[in-house]
């Protein structure tokens, strides 16, 4: 038998939170050889959101090493050399297939064993596939999903190979909206299909969605709502040719992109750490119920102090901040010190075409739409407040300036009372700017 490779700290997963955790370890002080990052991806941690945006642009697309962490939040870019200089071992193209929490060890597909004192679980999410539900023909060629840089490369090749072709985008969430836009920019004929009455229903109100649906229609994106893809046919090469919809319609397709959601990758730890709300349960320091095991990013179900409840958040800003919090807590514990509890303000964003929105806080309660949400306007700018128990608890803004985005973030944090909802609608953004 071979000896286990031993590290003081192992980060399992090489995505966004792994990169930000590594930077925080370096900042807090780390000896060479103490930290390893184990990733099934072949590249150092990078800013994943780029994959559905600039990575697929027709002109000068973003490529690694351009978007390694921590450029996405205005920090220094961590190239593979950086990890080398810091004595951080990047163990790439290595999938862990077994975790033994009691023995403090991980085993790779290649049969290697890695031991640790502290483990940070940063395995992120995996996409939900149509083949998971046995959708007929869903294993045809040119049906794509998007999670990792390899997936983006395959989609990019298909876009080049199917020049001026037709694409069907299954799903009306972030991935569906961002990929539809970028496929249109590549002059692909795009049809989106989703079952809900409007896009991004988990966040958007009908008023917000109406703007994006109108804007996308003006850009030539066809939208079919209220039905789902129930099957695919392929040509003699096994390439997808048609998408069959539940309502009986059949759409031609050279490319299909599926964005129907993700699920946290926690199966390695089943029965070994406590779970809640579909993720690994942590405290405010991202420590699990096992004292030397932490979980950060998409997999963590943590106390969201502002709302007094446990939540799981699948967004990049939280991946970054939770990673930093976990490392601060690990280092403070070593010195017998304490760190402050995580006090997160949820922040989501997306970009497509010339659009860019930000959302802060909680999307619960009544809503007030303000501003110009006419998709035909030359410079549309609009937003929405969410009001619960007489206080503004969430705010959304399309096409905000940096100052305006800061103002809506502050509103969501401060939760000012609202006396008059009609007045709030009239004041719009100036309400936020006064807080």
User: Which residues bind to ligand FAD, rule: CB under 6 A?
Assistant: 13-18, 38-41, 48-49, 51-52, 95-96, 122-125, 146-148, 174-175, 265, 268, 297-298, 314-317, 319, 348-350
Asked if 105 and 1 count as a contact pair (C-beta separation under 8 A), the reply is: no
Which of residues 391 and 413 has its CB atom nearest to ligand FAD in the complex? 413
Min dist CB 223 to ligand FAD, Å, is 20
Min dist CB 368 to ligand FAD, Å, is 24
Which of residues 14 and 171 has its CB atom nearest to ligand FAD in the complex? 14
Three state DSSP letters for 180-206? HHHHHHCCCEEEEEECCCCCCCCCCCH
Which of residues 49 and 428 has its CB atom nearest to ligand FAD in the complex? 49
Which of residues 137 and 399 has its CB atom nearest to ligand FAD in the complex? 399
Which of residues 178 and 254 has its CB atom nearest to ligand FAD in the complex? 178
Asked if 411 and 385 count as a contact pair (C-beta separation under 8 A), the reply is: yes
Min dist CB 151 to ligand FAD, Å, is 8
- Indicate the helix (H) or strand (E) that contains 274: none
Which of residues 39 and 384 has its CB atom nearest to ligand FAD in the complex? 39
Which of residues 264 and 428 has its CB atom nearest to ligand FAD in the complex? 264
Is 113 buried (19+), middle (13-18) or exposed (0-12) by CB count in 10 A?
A: middle
Asked if 398 and 356 count as a contact pair (C-beta separation under 8 A), the reply is: yes
Min dist CB 126 to ligand FAD, Å, is 7
Which residue number is nearest to ligand FAD in terms of Cβ? 15
Min dist CB 97 to ligand FAD, Å, is 7
Min dist CB 431 to ligand FAD, Å, is 25
Residue closest to 284 by CA, chosen among 251, 246, 328: 328
What string of DSSP letters covers 48-113? GGGGGTGGG-SSS---TTTTBTTGGGT-----HHHHHHHT-EEE-S--EEEEETTTTEEEETTS-E
Q: Which pair of tokens denotes residue 10?
A: 């192992």
Min dist CB 199 to ligand FAD, Å, is 15
């Amino acid at each position: 038998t071979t000896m286990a490779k031993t590290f003081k700290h192992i980060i399992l997963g090489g995505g966004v939170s792994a990169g930000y955790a590594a930077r925080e370890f370096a900042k807090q002080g780390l000896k060479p050889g103490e930290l390893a990052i184990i990733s099934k991806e072949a590249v150092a941690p990078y800013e994943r959101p780029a994959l559905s945006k600039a990575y697929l642009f027709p002109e000068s697309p973003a490529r690694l090493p351009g978007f390694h962490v921590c450029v996405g939040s205005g920090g220094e870019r961590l190239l593979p050399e950086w990890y080398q200089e810091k004595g951080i071992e990047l163990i790439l193209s290595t999938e862990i297939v077994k975790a033994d929490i009691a023995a403090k060890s991980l085993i790779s597909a290649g049969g290697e064993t890695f031991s640790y004192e502290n483990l940070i679980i940063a395995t992120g999410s995996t996409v939900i596939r149509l083949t998971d539900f046995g959708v007929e023909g869903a294993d045809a060629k040119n049906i794509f999903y998007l999670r990792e840089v390899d997936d983006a490369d395959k989609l990019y090749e298909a876009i080049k190979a199917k020049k001026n072709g037709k694409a069907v985008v299954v799903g009306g969430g972030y991935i569906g909206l961002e990929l539809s836009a970028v496929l249109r920019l590549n002059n692909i004929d795009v049809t989106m299909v989703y079952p809900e009455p409007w896009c991004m229903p988990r966040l958007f109100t009908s008023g917000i969605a109406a703007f994006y649906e109108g804007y996308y229609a003006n850009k030539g994106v066809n939208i079919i709502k209220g039905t789902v893809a129930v099957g695919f046919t392929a040509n003699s090469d096994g390439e997808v040719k048609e998408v069959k919809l539940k309502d009986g319609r059949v759409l031609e397709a050279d490319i299909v992109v599926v964005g129907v959601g993700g699920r946290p990758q926690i199966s390695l730890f089943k029965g070994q750490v406590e779970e809640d709300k579909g993720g690994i349960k942590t405290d405010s320091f991202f420590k699990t119920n096992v004292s030397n095991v932490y979980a950060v990013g998409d997999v963590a179900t943590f106390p969201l102090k502002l709302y007094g409840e446990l939540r799981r958040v699948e967004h990049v800003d939280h991946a970054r901040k939770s990673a930093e919090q976990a490392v601060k807590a690990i280092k403070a514990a070593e010195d017998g010190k304490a760190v402050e509890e995580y006090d997160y303000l949820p922040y989501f964003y997306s970009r497509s075409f010339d659009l860019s929105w930000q959302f802060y806080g909680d999307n619960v309660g009544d809503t007030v739409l303000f501003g110009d949400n006419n998709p035909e306007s030359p410079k549309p700018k609009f937003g929405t407040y969410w009001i619960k128990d007489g206080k503004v608890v969430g705010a959304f803004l399309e096409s905000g300036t940096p100052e305006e985005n800061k103002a809506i973030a502050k509103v969501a944090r401060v939760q000012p009372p609202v006396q008059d909802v009609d007045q709030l609608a009239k004041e719009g953004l100036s309400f936020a700017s006064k807080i």
